[in-house]
Structure 1
Amino acid sequence: MKKNYYRQLAFLGMLLIILFGFQKYRSNEKEDFSDVRFISNNPKNSHLAEFDPNELDGKQWRNLGFTEKQTTTILNYKKIVGGKFLSKDQFKKCFAVSAEKFSELEPYLILPENNGDSKSSRYNRVEKKSITVSRKFNPDLYNINDWVKMGFSERQAEAIVKYKNYLGGSFVSKEKFKECFIISEEHYKKLSCFLILPEKTPASFNHHVKNSIVNTTKIHYRPFDPNLLDAEGWKSLGFSDKQSQTIVNYRDRNLKGSFKNLEDIQKCFVISPEKFEELKPFIRLNPTTVANRYNNTRTETTQQEKTDFSKVDLNTITFKQLLEFGFDEKAAGSMIGFRKKLGGFVNREQILTTYNIDPELTRKLLSVAQLNTSNIPKYTLFDAPEEWLKNHPYFKYSADKIIFYRLTEKDERKLWKLLKIKPEYEARMKLYLK
């Protein structure tokens, strides 16, 4: 009995110890740890100040917490976007900058929010040049240096002068001056009151004057037969080289060798209504000339049609040969232009996608002519020249991505995945890849 009594007593003692220990553990859970501070592996930079990301070198990027690889990627990305970050939005798109890191740096970036924001940014206020003008001036007399002295960059000045030449050597009016894409609304407001130009564009202004050379000498007209004039003859009447050749081509190709009446001449788009009225009293259409030129043209055409198109290569066929086959000038020009941009046709189906062509006539040509693809330049995604990528119709919309991703990714399959291109576009691109 004593033995059993001691056993029970020992059991109760152990039970009390267990209950006491559990109670102490429960009380520890409520202990106040409010003063405890954990050390973070990536503490935020407390020393950040406003900075221009375009001025940072590799060491400075690493001081901001970026790894060696991330720093290299950021610097390469800056080169790809033109050597300068233009906005916070553009900087954010660099995949080496995480969303969290951007949120940390964003308040300190001296950049506009986006490329179109030019009003509230300190960055733009520093970069923007002011335009200074103190007296009235005729912009037609200004050269590139004059525009640069006014405050425009050299490239802007070149563009302004080029636009003036496009209009025919004169801005014509304040209205036309304002249309120059280099002249912002702010610039125009500042310059408008100083411009020695009419407010409105004259109703007689002809857009095709852009191809002419401004001629200040008065032309003395004499009676002439428009069917006997060559390009030099039309130049003597006041037309530019390009306009003169256009008139000759219009007569020989579109009108089959001769102007039949005054209306044919009037329809030529490089002859303005005002110019036609000047020429009209001196035009002499000779029925004999009309008939002879028409018959001669028919004979030449018959001879040209003897070309054996089964021996012609679609990658070397000329504009003249396409006209010979039956294409009009617009279709022939489109086909030659598309081929030039591609660097050559790889298959016949591509030719059928050309704009402005007659599908039936094109199929007829495809069934007859040869296609030699041996001289077409091809590259890999890694060695393709940047200029080629940016100008090729099949690559230009993905060129920036290719140039960016190939800096760090050397596996072609992974590179295609990063590009995320639709299968049909990828198939087209692979036609020009090794």
Structure 2
Amino acid sequence: MRFNVPLSAAKNYFLGFATSGLFLITGLYFFNSNKTPEHSPLSFKESLEAENLSTKRANLKEFNPNDLTEQEWINLGFSERQVATILKYKSVVGGNFISKEQLKKCYSISPEKYNEIEPYILLPNGATKRNSYQNYSRNYNNNYSPRKTSYQYNVPQNKGLNIPGKFNPDNYSVKDFVNLGFTERQATSILKYKSYLGGSFISKEKFRECYMISEENYKKLAPYILLPESATENNVDKKSFPDSKQAISKQAIIYEPFDPNSTNLEGWKALGFSEKQAQVIINYRDRNLKGSFKSLEDIAKCFVISPEKFEQLKPYIILKPENFAGKSSESAPRSTSTQNQSSKNIIGAEAKTDFRRTDLNEITFQQLIEFGFDEKAAASYIGFRNKLGGFLNTKQIIETYNVDKNIAEQLIATAPLFVNNVQKYTFMDAPESWLKSHPYFKYYADKIIYYRITYSNENRFFRTMNIKPEAEQKMRLYLK
């Protein structure tokens, strides 16, 4: 049995079915496009980062980097190692950051991290004072006005000065400065600064430069300070500069006739020499000249007696033969031939020196003459060796001024050098007098004294002082 379906009806049936399917597919597509999965990996990651970023920004508040503890630096997003580096850098720059620019130079703070925290740092953008000892508090008060905030930061504040009357700050202890109105931390820093200057503020001018004393406080204190206005008003130059010589007024020296062979340490000091200079003169007389000056020329050759000073002393010098070393006043005068014969005997005896067993750190002036040095070279050898406290390598001998290198090399090839008795120190225990007189250290003595008062880490001394490699190599010879 056949069913004959008209073509028009089949066409209508097919079009209806197709239209219904199209509507169904369109509806399903629309429904699925508006329904997002609750947790897709990408959207979860993005939401987590957004949450961390908002939390980080919420935790950032205005802060003074000089007051942050180690934990507070960690809370800002730094690792423990980075924090340790930041705190060491803070100590190297003087114990306080004085500007944003200085903090930015710390290599543990990346440019990205600095840009993140920079708007919240309560420091001026750059240091505006040339004084290397200018502290943060003065820059902060003069150059920067922080925005008002509910965040409280721990900045030491002066309670107000309580000035009892005229006073000498050289005589003040930590307790005295605290009673004056400074905090204990400020008082300690003031005394460290005094110690750096050599134990005295010297003048109002130097007291004013102390980085813990603001300009406002200095103006209040100045009328009561018992110090000269400037260092030039002192009779003695500043102790803190090793190259400066003590100035002694010529009017204060009263010259009288004297015998340089019987003049002691106090006698030379009375003639206008410092204690150190007087000791050098005595050592030159007793060691290099075997106990006595024989002529005015011998005195003029002493390197601590300047030509001008020698001309001042010359009219008053009396060389008494009875005070010559090795000559007795009771002995009868000998003939010239006898004296010449005696001199030959002495030279003959000295000529027997075995230089193969003579320590280069013990060889005498006369032995150097015997070997072939002239007097000027021998004196330079002895003088430089004494200043160094002893040679530690033969190169130092060859580099000594006025020494003939060929003769020096012959001596080095013949005589041994023993260095066990040469004194060495660390930066922390080296005496100030040694630092200020040693040829390798004297130009850096003030910096070394200042750094060791402030810091305990000796490894950073060379880097912070910017010492040339050649100078550092020489200095390390005499360091433990």
TM-score by length of 2: 0.47
Count of aligned pairs between the two proteins: 341
1:410 corresponds to: none
Counterpart-to-counterpart distance in 1, 2:474 and 2:390: 16
Aligned pairs for 1:255-270 (under 5 A) are: 257-258=292-293, 260-261=295-296, 264=299, 269=304
Which of these residues, 29, 34, 57, is aligned with residue 46 of structure 1?
A: 57
1:351 corresponds to: 396
1:86 corresponds to: 97
Letter aligned with residue 50 of structure 1: E
Q: How far apart are residue 75 of structure 1 and its match? A: 1.7
- State the SS of the aligned residue for 1:107: helix
The 3 A distance-change label for structure 1 pair 240 and 387 is closer
1:15 corresponds to: none
Counterpart-to-counterpart distance in 2, 1:114 and 1:189: 26
1:225 corresponds to: 259
- State the SS of the aligned residue for 1:43: helix
Which of these residues, 422, 447, 460, is aligned with residue 400 of structure 1?
A: 460
The 3 A distance-change label for structure 1 pair 334 and 148 is farther
2:192 corresponds to: 155
Q: Are residues 1:364 and 2:374 paired? A: no
Aligned pairs for 1:281-430 (under 5 A) are: 283-286=317-320, 307-312=353-358, 317-318=361-362, 321=364, 324-325=367-368, 326=373, 327-328=377-378, 331-334=381-384, 344-345=392-393, 348=394, 350-351=395-396, 354=399, 356=401, 358=403, 359-370=405-416, 399-400=459-460
The 3 A distance-change label for structure 1 pair 51 and 266 is same
2:76 corresponds to: 64
Aligned pairs for 1:192-211 (under 5 A) are: 197=228, 201=232, 208-209=245-246
Counterpart-to-counterpart distance in 1, 2:245 and 2:462: 40
Q: How far apart are residue 103 of structure 1 and its match? A: 1.2
Which of these residues, 248, 267, 281, is aligned with residue 282 of structure 2?
A: 248
**Range with bigger deviation, 115-124 or 266-275:** 266-275
Aligned residues of 2:205 and 2:230 also touching (Cα < 8 A): no
Residues 241-282 of structure 1 deviation map (CA, whole Å, 9 limit, x = unaligned): 5443233235456778316349957988569989997x7886
Q: How far apart are residue 100 of structure 1 and its match? A: 0.3
1:8 corresponds to: none
Which of these residues, 82, 91, 99, is aligned with residue 73 of structure 1?
A: 82
Amino-acid identity (%): 27
The 3 A distance-change label for structure 1 pair 55 and 180 is closer
Letter aligned with residue 400 of structure 1: R
Q: Are residues 1:95 and 2:107 paired? A: yes
The 3 A distance-change label for structure 1 pair 222 and 128 is farther
Q: Are residues 1:145 and 2:169 paired? A: no
Aligned residues of 1:227 and 1:258 also touching (Cα < 8 A): yes
Letter aligned with residue 103 of structure 2: F
Q: How far apart are residue 104 of structure 1 and its match? A: 1.0
Unpaired segments ≥5 residues, structure 1 = 1-27, 29-35, 165-170, 377-384, 405-420
Counterpart-to-counterpart distance in 1, 2:174 and 2:473: 51
Letter aligned with residue 71 of structure 1: E
- State the SS of the aligned residue for 2:84: helix
Aligned residues of 2:205 and 2:231 also touching (Cα < 8 A): no
The 3 A distance-change label for structure 1 pair 366 and 62 is same
TM-score by length of 1: 0.51
Residues 269-308 of structure 1 deviation map (CA, whole Å, 9 limit, x = unaligned): 569989997x788653346757988999999888667543
The 3 A distance-change label for structure 1 pair 109 and 311 is farther
Aligned residues of 2:64 and 2:122 also touching (Cα < 8 A): yes
Q: How far apart are residue 49 of structure 1 and its match? A: 1.0
Which of these residues, 120, 126, 140, is aligned with residue 121 of structure 1?
A: 140
The 3 A distance-change label for structure 1 pair 202 and 127 is closer
Counterpart-to-counterpart distance in 2, 1:429 and 1:281: 43
Q: How far apart are residue 425 of structure 1 and its match? A: 11
Unpaired segments ≥5 residues, structure 2 = 1-32, 34-42, 145-154, 238-243, 328-338, 430-434, 441-447, 449-457
2:335 corresponds to: none
Aligned residues of 2:206 and 2:230 also touching (Cα < 8 A): no
Q: How far apart are residue 309 of structure 1 and its match? A: 3.3
Aligned residues of 1:112 and 1:120 also touching (Cα < 8 A): yes
Q: How far apart are residue 366 of structure 1 and its match? A: 2.4
- State the SS of the aligned residue for 2:396: helix
Counterpart-to-counterpart distance in 2, 1:189 and 1:299: 75
2:5 corresponds to: none
Q: How far apart are residue 400 of structure 1 and its match? A: 3.2
Letter aligned with residue 101 of structure 1: K
The 3 A distance-change label for structure 1 pair 221 and 203 is same
RMSD (Å), alpha carbons: 6.4
The 3 A distance-change label for structure 1 pair 65 and 292 is closer
1:9 corresponds to: none
Residues 10-34 of structure 1 deviation map (CA, whole Å, 9 limit, x = unaligned): xxxxxxxxxxxxxxxxxx9xxxxxx
